[in-house]
Structures are given as structure tokens and as C-alpha cells.
Amino acid sequence: MLPRAKITAMGYYVPSRRLTNADLEKMVDTSDEWIVRRTGIKERRIAEKGVYASDMALIAAKRVLENAGISAQELDLILVATTTPDMFTPSVSCIVQGKIGAANAAAIDINTACTGFVSALTIANQFIKTGYYQKILIIGAETLSLMTDYQDRNTCILFGDGAGAVIVEPSEGDEGVLGTVLGADGEGGKNLTSFAFKDDEEETAKRVSGNKQTLWMDGSEVLKFAVRAMAKATTEAVEKAGLTLDDIDIIIPHQANIRIVEGAAKRLGVDMDRMFINLEKYGNMASASIPIALCEAFGSGRVKKGDTAVLVGFGGGLTWGAAVVRF
């Protein structure tokens, strides 16, 4: 049997600054009751000025290396999932590689938006299976506050900043990644956009602030897509793992919106108590969302050794993915 990628350590970082619903009431026409009813979010973490994705990724990386009890020189590969890199080049993964002194590691950034951590875990699993790499650092890191339009009441309530990280290594036992699914719908990409070099007057006009680099989203279309994608990806990943939903102890979804999670749970026919939720504290942190939720699920005792979990996400692109992991 080929070895599997086993998660051997976890670590995360979130900024200390909180942006509460009460704060947002002073910025746009909204209310705490409206935000909680529509999203389930009560507050989100915001990076201080001058703090970028690589800074938070670096802290998460140092914490996970300490928790793993290994040195940066032992790493073979660093995968960073991010939609909000400091710059186009060098990549966030290269910045982290240099700052932690991981001289023996390759470094790759991945952008599948909020699906990023699952994409990175899937890629790492293939490297582990082939024996090409033995120790891989995966980080999801986002400064979504930098692309948020704080004049748009429909989107500014959603997003926060943070970074989560794991170390994966080979396991020939029952632990590790049992099955994964990735997918994309490029035709639907128009429903969630943020521009770099390209100029598009129609897209710019959609944004309340007129800043094309801020994120714009057709919320109703993304919600419908997300519910379908999360349920489909979960079902397919569980089947690929040779299991049924009854074998799954917990589902750790991308923390985007409580209505999306509730909709996916209903489609799957599972109770909400089998879904791990921490979005009320952090909002949507894109690719950092799942690894931070995973860390908190372990820290709270919701996940323990021997448990089998589904990590499932969806995001811009449009993309989706799920991984079945036994701990």
C-alpha cells in the first residue's frame, strides 16, 4: 500500500485586532442582528497596517514547526495557499522559506481561493504517495481585509485575516488522507472577482468604492453554488475513501456563511452538531479558514486521535474540494 500524507502537527495565528458587528454599524448601513441572521458572524480579525500574508504565514510556520519538533532544514516542500499575496513575486512561500531558513525546501504558492488549503493538501498527498517528498509544510494565509470593499455592506461583513498551518509526513498505517476530490467551474468565475492588471469598466462599476482590486461577489449565486459544491465534494470524497457518511466523525467546512453550512448539512442529511463551526469569531478567512478551524477543533477536543474528518471548501474560480482525513 502506498503511504498516505499524515498530518503530524498544526499551528495557527490570528491578529489581535477585532472588527465587530458594532464597529461595522458605524461604517455602513447594517446592524448586528442583520449580520448574524444572514451570516452567523459576530466579529472578524484584521491585520494591523503593514502586516501581510507572509507575516502571518511566518508566525504560523514557526508555531507548527515547534509543535512538530522539527527544524526548518528538514522540510522538503512549502505549499502556501493564498488569494492575497504580498506581491506577485517573490511568492509568499518563497518569503517564508527564506525567513525560516528552510534551505532544502522547494516553495510553491497555490491560488484556488477558499479551496486553497484542500488543494494544497491534495497536492502534498500526491508527493508523499510517490515518495518524492517526506516532510511538507502547508500554510493557508490571507489578508482579505486588503481586498475588502468597506463601502459595500454586502461583502465587508464577511471577511477576516489569519493563517493556519500543518506538517504532513508519510504514514503507512490507518492514519492520513484517505480520499480527496477537487473541481472547478470556470464559467462561474464571473460571480466572484478581484482584478490585478486587467481593466474592466463594467467590473469597476459594480464596486461601491470604484476600486477594481476590491472583491465583488454575487452573493445569491455564490451561495447556491457553495451549498451544491460542498455537499457534492463531501459525498464524492467519502466514496473515494471507501467510506459512508456514517463513518465520518466530523465535517470541518470552509467558514464562509452559516447559511451555506446549514444548506450543505441539509443536503447531506447530517445534523449540524457534526459540523465544526468557528465563523462567529473569525468570519471568512478564505484559505486560512479550514486549517484554523482544524486547529481549534483539536484544541477543543472536538477532534481526537482515531477520528475521521471531512475537510471541505469552495471558493472563487469557481473551485471546490474535499479531503477525508483520519487522525
* 284 tagged catalytic: yes
The count of other CB atoms within 10 Å of the CB of residue 239 is: 14
Sign of the C-alpha dihedral computed for residues 268, 274, 276 and 280 taken in this order: positive
**Runs of H (alpha helix) within 147-218:** 201-206
Residue type, 264: A
User: Rounded distance, CA 194 to CA 138, Å?
Assistant: 24
User: Rounded distance, CA 122 to CA 108, Å?
Assistant: 14
Query: 7: part of which helix (H) or strand (E)?
Result: strand 4-13
DSSP 151: T
**Cis peptide, bond prior to residue 15, ω within 30 of zero:** no
* 191 tagged catalytic: no
Catalytic residue among 21, 94, 191, 254: 254
The count of other CB atoms within 10 Å of the CB of residue 211 is: 14
Burial (0-12, 13-18, 19+ Cβ within 10 Å), 153: middle
The count of other CB atoms within 10 Å of the CB of residue 101 is: 12
Catalytic residue among 114, 125, 278, 295: 114
User: Rounded distance, CA 132 to CA 68, Å?
Assistant: 20
- Total residue count of the chain as it appears in this document: 327
User: Rounded distance, CA 95 to CA 289, Å?
Assistant: 21
Catalytic residue among 111, 191, 257, 284: 284
* 94 tagged catalytic: no
The count of other CB atoms within 10 Å of the CB of residue 267 is: 15
User: Rounded distance, CA 31 to CA 25, Å?
Assistant: 6
Per-residue burial over 67-83, b = 16 or more CB atoms within 10 Å of its CB, e = otherwise = bbebebebbbbbbbbbb
Catalytic residues: 114, 254, 284
